[in-house]
Copies of this chain bind each other. A is one copy, B any other.
Amino acid sequence: MRIAELSRRSGVAMPTIKFYLREGMLPPGVRTSPNQARYDESHIRRLRLVRAMIDLGGLSVAAVREVLATVDSPTDDIDGLLGTVSRTLVDAPAAVDPDAMDEVRALLDGLGWDCPQGHPAMAALAAVLTAARDLGHERIIARLHRFAAAAELIAAADLDYVAAAEDVDRMLESVVVGTVLGDSAIIALRRLAQARESGRRYPLR
């Protein structure tokens, strides 16, 4: 297909597609004349992945470029690929209290989770511990293992979703879409489950 059809089918505007081509975020099409090229289904999939990362994941163009460089390098390190994308989807705090970070490591050790060094979600979790303490709610910290048990169920469902994708581009797209939409779904379901549990514990007599 020509670039106009690629734009129509992907829903991405032509100037944006041209920008992605210039930036190397979309592989060039097969040139059919000095100023025309032909694109195929792989370009549509790649555009979907790029838009998912930018629109849903809130990734910068630089971060997307970094992810795509990893995708496009020959590798059989699927875990490394998934991790690269997944790490970009964490809002890590700028600074972290080292004591809180030690507590996070102890929590993960206690759970038997062998987590990658320096994962930004560890810093995010440390920031929660610091905030809980500052608010006089450090009792929350002792209860995190119950949230961790729930997170294990969620992660197993997440990886099943990713594994069901047909190729690596779609696996990565599933990580982005599943993670970002999943966060919103989990938070909404938590509120509804709270309402249900509250109604069971405190029925109006």
The answer on a CB contact under 8 Å between B182 and A151 is no
Which one of B177, B187, B192, B201 contacts A108 once the chains associate, using CB atoms below 8 Å? Answer: B192
The answer on a CB contact under 8 Å between A79 and B202 is yes
Binds B, one of A19-27, A32-40, A65-73, A82-90: A82-90
Interface size on A, residues (CB 8 A): 82
Cα–Cα distance between A89 and B191 once the two chains are bound (Å)? 9
Interface residues of A in 86-145 (CB under 8 A from B): 86-87, 89-90, 108, 113-116, 119-122, 124-125, 127-128, 131-132, 135-137, 139-140, 143-144
Copies of this protein, total: 2
Residue A62 lies at the interface, judged by CB distance under 8 Å to chain B: no
Which one of B121, B187, B190 contacts A192 once the chains associate, using CB atoms below 8 Å? Answer: B121
Cα–Cα distance between A203 and B115 once the two chains are bound (Å)? 13
Q: Across the two chains, which residue of chain B brings its CB closest to A146? A: B157
5 cross-chain pairs, A with B, having the tightest CB-CB distances, nearest first: A155-B193, A121-B191, A151-B189, A146-B157, A78-B202
